[in-house]
């Protein structure tokens, strides 16, 4: 399948290992499909254990020189890479829409968002400060320096195939580390195109290694078991994150976990209703609901429930699902056929328990993996759509009476990634923001992410933070040096 690219050389189908484009040791390949059409885009090298081991060895060797460079030298390379990503934004967006499905406008936005992490950490690289601590003794001083954690392994998901790569590679390289990445098997092309641009930017060989593969378990086993890997950064589902954390404990690796969500939005009766409708819809149906911080449960105060449902349904009915490269499409497909089935199981379970699909409720009849934007009313917390991450364009709308009931519903989950509140009562903003158990809160806003904020969750949504001034810490180790014999 030919993609409409200005630079066709960005469409890579080999692994990127030690600065070279290579086929997997097995010589095997796997297909990458366009979810809007079901067509095969290309076949990609299927990397395995031997390739992973080679990549880790290359990263270990390359890191020796990289960590000796000055922060400014590392920053300069990252800045050049950022400039190349922005210059090639349109091609990167077309590649993303073709393999992941999101509409082109969202893909363009993700490329810019992904690039912002490279820009941000090009700057943060120069601000890895330490401490000089006055000690209780008079003849010594305590010095604290920060050093790179070591070789990083990373595993990333298909829903943001560009930004989930750069949100890890940016801080890793800025800190002086080298990194080996396995992207999702559904969307390797975005990662490979980023590697091509990093190569063009002069990033030294071995610092960035991309291992496309269908053998995720096999590669994960090597990444989590190899003693030269000092940190695993994972973004994906909570069950997989738990398994990887367990494996990492064998060699006491540091881990960063960006896992599943079950975000509530709480809409109080003093909210600006039109803003709440627009914000809730934008979050819920962003990337066709395949976003970790998508609203998963809409909680509306009972006094405004009917008014909210009427406005929300009127907006959702205007959506046009279709191929993301078609300018008239507002929303794209879901990632594959399995996702269609998973979503339908959740919807059917709710319907069997009394829910009503006032909009949608089934797959679209057009070719490709399309699910109709769906709204469910008459829902309850006994349904799976209350407890599980839907990861599709389905909006269950629950009602509540009091602030206390809303907080209890919001917190009634093992997840704790993002939450959203619509109210114009400042006292309520503080009470509810502090009471909700999560890592990020949007108040009268659902577009809450950028490179400057600490992205991450609590409970079973993960550990660590990506982006912001905090993001570099996950790739650094603190070393304390006692400077004695001061009066020698």
Ligand X SMILES: NC(=O)c1ccc[n+]([C@@H]2O[C@H](COP(=O)([O-])OP(=O)(O)OC[C@H]3O[C@@H](n4cnc5c(N)ncnc54)[C@H](O)[C@@H]3O)[C@@H](O)[C@H]2O)c1
Ligand Y SMILES: O=C[C@H](O)CS(=O)(=O)O
Contact residues: ligand X, CB under 6 A: 155-160, 164, 182, 184-185, 216-217, 220, 235-237, 240, 243, 258-261, 292, 389, 391, 417, 462
User: Quick check: 292 binds ligand Y (CB under 6 A)?
Assistant: yes
Smallest gap from Cβ 450 to ligand Y, in A, equals: 9
CB nearer to ligand X: pick between 7 and 342:
342
Q: Kindly write out the interface string for residues 162-181 of this chain, putting x where it contacts ligand Y by CB under 6 A and - elsewhere.
A: -x------------------
User: Quick check: 160 binds ligand Y (CB under 6 A)?
Assistant: yes
* Residue 65 is a catalytic residue: no
Please report how many Cα atoms fall inside a 13 Å half-sphere around the Cα of residue 392, on the Cβ side.
31
Alpha-carbon distance of 106 to 236, in angstroms, equals: 20
> Of these, 293, 385, 395, 407, which contacts ligand Y (CB under 6 A)?
293
DSSP class of residue 186? T
Q: Which of 110, 124, 222, 258 is catalytic?
A: 258
CB nearer to ligand X: pick between 34 and 423:
34
CB nearer to ligand X: pick between 157 and 368:
157
Smallest gap from Cβ 10 to ligand X, in A, equals: 21
Q: Which does 319 bind (CB under 5 to 8 A by kind): ligand X, ligand Y, none?
A: none
Tokens of 262: 């079950």
Smallest gap from Cβ 285 to ligand Y, in A, equals: 14
Tell me the site size for ligand Y, rule CB under 6 A.
8
Smallest gap from Cβ 11 to ligand X, in A, equals: 20
Question: Is residue 102 within 8 Å of 190, Cβ to Cβ?
Answer: no
Please report how many Cα atoms fall inside a 13 Å half-sphere around the Cα of residue 105, on the Cβ side.
8
Q: Phi and psi dihedrals of 446, rounded to 5?
A: -115, -10
Q: Which does 264 bind (CB under 5 to 8 A by kind): ligand Y, ligand X, none?
A: none
Concatenating the DSSP letter of every residue in 360-423 gives --SB-SSSSS-B--EEEES--TTSHHHHS---SSEEEEEEESSHHHHHHHHH-SS--SEEEEE-
Q: CA 260: distance to chain centroid?
A: 10
Alpha-carbon distance of 109 to 126, in angstroms, equals: 27
Q: How many CB atoms lie within 10 A of CB 82?
A: 23
Q: Which range, of 126-134, 288-296, 298-306, 352-360, touches ligand Y by CB under 6 A?
A: 288-296
Q: How many CB atoms lie within 10 A of CB 69?
A: 15
Output the CA torsion sign for 271, 277, 279, 281. positive
Q: Which does 259 bind (CB under 5 to 8 A by kind): ligand X, ligand Y, none?
A: ligand X
Q: Which does 462 bind (CB under 5 to 8 A by kind): ligand Y, ligand X, none?
A: ligand X
CB nearer to ligand Y: pick between 41 and 293:
293
CB nearer to ligand X: pick between 7 and 388:
388
CB nearer to ligand X: pick between 199 and 461:
461
- Find the DSSP H helices in 125-200: 163-175, 188-200
CB nearer to ligand X: pick between 185 and 445:
185
Alpha-carbon distance of 238 to 224, in angstroms, equals: 16
Q: Which does 216 bind (CB under 5 to 8 A by kind): ligand X, ligand Y, none?
A: ligand X
CB nearer to ligand X: pick between 15 and 260:
260
User: Quick one: which of 206, 224, 177 has its CA closest to 472?
Assistant: 177
Q: Which does 449 bind (CB under 5 to 8 A by kind): ligand X, ligand Y, none?
A: ligand Y
- Find the DSSP H helices in 88-215: 89-100, 104-124, 163-175, 188-200
Q: Which range, of 6-14, 26-34, 157-165, 321-329, touches ligand Y by CB under 6 A?
A: 157-165
Q: Which does 151 bind (CB under 5 to 8 A by kind): ligand Y, ligand X, none?
A: none
Q: Phi and psi dihedrals of 464, rounded to 5?
A: 90, 170
User: Quick check: 305 binds ligand Y (CB under 6 A)?
Assistant: no
Q: CA 295: distance to chain centroid?
A: 15
Residues 35-94 that bind ligand Y (CB under 6 A): none
3-state secondary structure of 109: helix
Q: Which does 396 bind (CB under 5 to 8 A by kind): ligand Y, ligand X, none?
A: none
Alpha-carbon distance of 75 to 70, in angstroms, equals: 9
Smallest gap from Cβ 445 to ligand Y, in A, equals: 12
Q: Which range, of 9-17, 198-206, 289-297, 375-383, touches ligand Y by CB under 6 A?
A: 289-297
Smallest gap from Cβ 235 to ligand X, in A, equals: 5
> Of these, 88, 166, 449, 468, which contacts ligand Y (CB under 6 A)?
449
Taking CA atoms, 379 is separated from 293, 297, 344, 374, 385, in Å, by: 21, 10, 16, 13, 9
What Rg, from alpha-carbon coordinates, does the chain have? 23
Smallest gap from Cβ 129 to ligand X, in A, equals: 27
Pairing label, strands 15-17, 20-22: antiparallel
Taking CA atoms, 288 is separated from 159, 284, 335, 338, 339, in Å, by: 10, 8, 9, 15, 11
Residue 116 CB contacts under 8 Å (≥ 6 apart), including other chains: 450, 451
Smallest gap from Cβ 336 to ligand X, in A, equals: 10
User: Quick check: 413 binds ligand Y (CB under 6 A)?
Assistant: no
CB nearer to ligand X: pick between 219 and 359:
219
**What element of type H or E holds 44?**
strand 40-45
Smallest gap from Cβ 440 to ligand Y, in A, equals: 9
Residues that bind ligand Y (CB under 6 A): 159-160, 163, 291-293, 449, 455
Active site residues: 258
């Amino acid at each position: 399948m030919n993609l409409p690219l200005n630079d066709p050389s960005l469409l890579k189908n080999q692994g990127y290992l030690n600065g070279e484009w290579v086929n997997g040791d097995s010589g095997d390949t796997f297909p990458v499909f366009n979810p809007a059409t079901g067509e095969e885009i290309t076949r990609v090298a299927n990397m395995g254990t031997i390739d992973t081991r080679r990549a880790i060895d290359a990263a270990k060797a390359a890191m020796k020189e990289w960590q000796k460079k000055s922060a400014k030298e590392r920053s300069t390379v990252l800045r050049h890479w950022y400039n190349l990503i922005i210059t090639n934004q349109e091609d990167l967006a077309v590649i993303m829409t073709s393999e992941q499905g999101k509409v082109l406008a969202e893909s363009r936005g993700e490329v810019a968002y992904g690039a912002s992490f490279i820009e941000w950490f090009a700057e943060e690289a120069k601000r890895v400060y330490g401490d000089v601590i006055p000690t209780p003794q008079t003849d010594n001083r305590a010095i604290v320096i920060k050093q790179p954690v070591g070789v990083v392994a990373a595993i990333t998901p298909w829903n943001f195939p560009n930004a989930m790569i750069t949100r890890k590679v940016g801080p890793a390289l800025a800190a002086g580390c080298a990194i080996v990445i396995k992207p999702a098997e559904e969307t390797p092309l975005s990662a490979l195109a980023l590697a091509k641009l990093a190569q063009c930017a002069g990033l030294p060989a071995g610092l960035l290694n991309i291992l496309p593969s269908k053998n995720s378990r096999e590669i994960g086993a090597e990444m989590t078991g190899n003693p030269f890997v000092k940190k695993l950064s994972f973004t994906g589902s909570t069950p997989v994150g738990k398994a990887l954390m367990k494996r990492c404990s064998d060699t006491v690796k540091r881990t960063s976990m960006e896992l599943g969500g079950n975000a509530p939005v709480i809409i109080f009766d003093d909210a600006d209703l039109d803003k709440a409708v627009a914000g809730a819809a934008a979050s819920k149906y962003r990337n066709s609901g395949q976003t970790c911080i998508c609203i998963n449960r809409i909680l509306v105060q009972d006094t405004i429930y009917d008014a909210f449902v009427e406005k929300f349904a009127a907006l959702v009915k205007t959506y046009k699902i279709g191929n993301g490269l078609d300018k008239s499409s507002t929303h794209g497909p879901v990632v594959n056929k399995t996702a269609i089935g998973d979503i339908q199981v959740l919807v059917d379970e709710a319907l069997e328990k009394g829910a009503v699909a006032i909009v949608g409720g089934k797959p679209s009849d057009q070719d490709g993996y399309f699910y109709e934007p769906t709204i469910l009313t008459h829902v309850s917390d006994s349904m799976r759509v209350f407890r599980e991450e839907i990861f599709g364009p389905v909006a269950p709308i629950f009602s509540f009476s009091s602030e206390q009931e809303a907080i209890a519903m919001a917190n009634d989950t093992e997840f704790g990634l993002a939450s959203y509140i619509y109210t114009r009562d400042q006292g309520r903003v503080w009470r509810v923001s502090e009471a909700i158990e999560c890592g990020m809160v949007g108040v009268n806003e659902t577009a809450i992410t950028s490179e400057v904020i600490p992205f991450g969750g609590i409970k079973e949504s993960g550990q660590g933070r990506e982006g912001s001034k905090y993001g570099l810490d996950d790739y650094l180790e603190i070393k304390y040096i006692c400077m004695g014999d001061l009066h020698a």
